[in-house]
Structure 1
Amino acid sequence: MIVWLNGTFGAGKTTAARELLELLPGSVLYDPELIGSGLRLMLPEKRLGEVSDYQELPAWRRLVVDTAAALLAEVGGGPLVVPMTLLRQEYRDEIFGGLAARRIAVRHVLLHAEETVLRERIDQRADVPGDAEASAGIRAWCLDHLPAYHEALPWLTGDAHVVDTAGLAPRTTAERIAEAIREGAGSCDIVQTPEPTSETLAAGVLLFDEDDRVLLVDPTYKPGWEFPGGVVEPGEAPARAGMREVAEELGLRLPVVPRLLVVDWEPPLPPGYGGLRLLFDGGRLPAADAERLLLPGAELRGWRFATEDEAASMLPPVRHTRLRWALRARERATVLNLEAGVPVGG
């Protein structure tokens, strides 16, 4: 199990984590900031210059998950206490979804305090010995991140168990966290999608509104928007798999088997294994059907219809390229064969 202590700078995550180690038998401190420090030493300056925070690095997010799994195996199951600010919901989804895929339970706890308290704590944080300029820079950096914290509060408070640390000593904060954990608070209801161990076959279904905008869904367990669909199970027909996934994800039963638009071979790109990705045309949804769409909270956070241009800013590049060719195939009433997003053959 992982106890993830979230919150902005000044919330008391680090001090509470140290106290919590004494209250949770067998617990181990796991600080993902060390992974960020390591990447800063290993990655080329050019790559580091492309991001403003190491959390923006896909390698950091994946290593956080992989290292957690390795640590739990090493120490016999944990729990791991993780004091780490995580304010972008898509990063939370990616990391917690990766942990869920490894059957690692997460308890998400938000340490919260009002801004006046946070500012006071940031102002009083210990100086870097002999370096007043660095001390001032750290404080300014912490203060600059307060707006991002307030922007993230709506989803944080809806996702995590909240402990208000204003006026609490670190030990008292830790005791309240431990009590909440024992009562099962902060448990993350997120889908457990096993990581593939070989090439996979996946089927997606494109559904359209009456203005020909395409339906996209926002998974809780991975970054970026996606098409309704999923991995084809052994012995299952791909089109039927797409229909099953639409029914499971959206509560919508398609009346006819959808027509194939695109076959795209996705090459293996470590750590992924690649495989075949199929997109089918599920047709237009009447407005009344769209209004009745259901979302499983553990798997999908939201849905929306988007134009092709709007989808470009929502989908990861690989998926957007696939969508672009699927729309062209739909316009031409044909099927396109792609390799890594590029049409091949006649």
Structure 2
Amino acid sequence: MRIDAAATEQERVAAVREVKGVRQPSGEEISAGGVVWHHGRVLVLRNFRDEYIFPKGHLEPGETAEQAALREVAEEAGLLATIVSPLPDTTYSYQKVGGGWQNKRVHWYNMRVATDQVKVDGVEIKWGAFLPPEEVAGRLTHALDRYLLEQSLAMMQDHAN
């Protein structure tokens, strides 16, 4: 089966699932993250794989999704954020390093911060900055993140009014 280079991430996952012999994902990994705003600009990070992303990560035992999202923003960008509102969850499947597929659900939140002084660790996250939303949209690696940015922008404009 040929997958077009312009296909969305969801289309690629669906195409892979159609191939005979591919194991369907089992279980669901839960993560949380934030679309972080500072005076009309959005935080974008570049990770060690050179992907442009929003901060996110897994939940620690006993942690709520909100707590995990705030912790991930602090760990990955060195920022103390405040949650403004929830965003739609995203779900996708990825191929694990040892083989097989994993379902993942990410709980997302709109957030605000008081400072734009991003501090990355230089290992997991190589770079981060607050940029205008249209520039962030052009940099984001994954289609689901661009969708999330659109949703976030609409909601944050509603909160401003």
Q: Normalising by structure 1, what TM-score?
A: 0.35
C-alpha separation in 1, matches of 2:101 and 2:152: 23
Check conservation: 1:208, 1:283, Cα contact below 8 A: yes
Q: 2:144 aligns with which of 318, 324, 337?
A: 318
CA, structure 1 residues 230+272, in 2 after alignment: closer, same or farther (shift >3 Å)?
A: same
Q: 1:213 aligns with which of 31, 36, 41?
A: 41
Partner SS state of residue 320, structure 1? helix
Which has the larger strand fraction?
2
1:306 CA drift (Å): 2.3
Partner of 1:153: none
1:272 CA drift (Å): 4.5
Map 1:137-286 to 2 at 5 A: 198-210=27-39, 212-220=40-48, 222-254=49-81, 256=82, 258-268=83-93, 272-285=101-114
Letter in 2 for 1:226: I
Aligned length, in residue pairs: 137
Deviations 1:256-310 (A, max 9, x none): 4x1333132414466653332222122143xxx323x321121111012222221
Partner of 2:126: 301
Alpha-carbon RMSD across the aligned residues, in angstroms, is 2.9
Check conservation: 1:219, 1:225, Cα contact below 8 A: yes
Check conservation: 1:260, 1:278, Cα contact below 8 A: no
Over the matched positions of the two proteins, sequence identity in percent amounts to 24
1:238 CA drift (Å): 0.8
1:236 CA drift (Å): 0.8
Letter in 2 for 1:279: W
Letter in 2 for 1:231: H
CA, structure 1 residues 312+198, in 2 after alignment: closer, same or farther (shift >3 Å)?
A: same
Deviations 1:222-263 (A, max 9, x none): 342111221122321111111111222222233x4x133313
Which has the larger helix fraction?
1
Partner SS state of residue 243, structure 1? helix
CA, structure 1 residues 206+265, in 2 after alignment: closer, same or farther (shift >3 Å)?
A: closer
Deviations 1:73-127 (A, max 9, x none): xxxxxxxxxxxxxxxxxxxxxxxxxxxxxxxxxxxxxxxxxxxxxxxxxxxxxxx
Check conservation: 1:229, 1:242, Cα contact below 8 A: yes
C-alpha separation in 2, matches of 1:272 and 1:321: 23
Map 1:38-187 to 2 at 5 A: 44=2
List gaps (5 residues or longer) in structure 1. 1-42, 51-57, 59-195, 334-346
C-alpha separation in 2, matches of 1:241 and 1:296: 18
CA, structure 1 residues 241+268, in 2 after alignment: closer, same or farther (shift >3 Å)?
A: same
CA, structure 1 residues 260+232, in 2 after alignment: closer, same or farther (shift >3 Å)?
A: farther
1:330 aligned to 2:151? no
**Larger radius of gyration, structure 1 or 2?**
1
1:214 CA drift (Å): 0.3
Check conservation: 2:90, 2:144, Cα contact below 8 A: no
Partner of 2:20: none
C-alpha separation in 2, matches of 1:266 and 1:297: 28
CA, structure 1 residues 251+297, in 2 after alignment: closer, same or farther (shift >3 Å)?
A: same
C-alpha separation in 1, matches of 2:125 and 2:26: 24
Check conservation: 1:217, 1:302, Cα contact below 8 A: yes
CA, structure 1 residues 290+201, in 2 after alignment: closer, same or farther (shift >3 Å)?
A: same
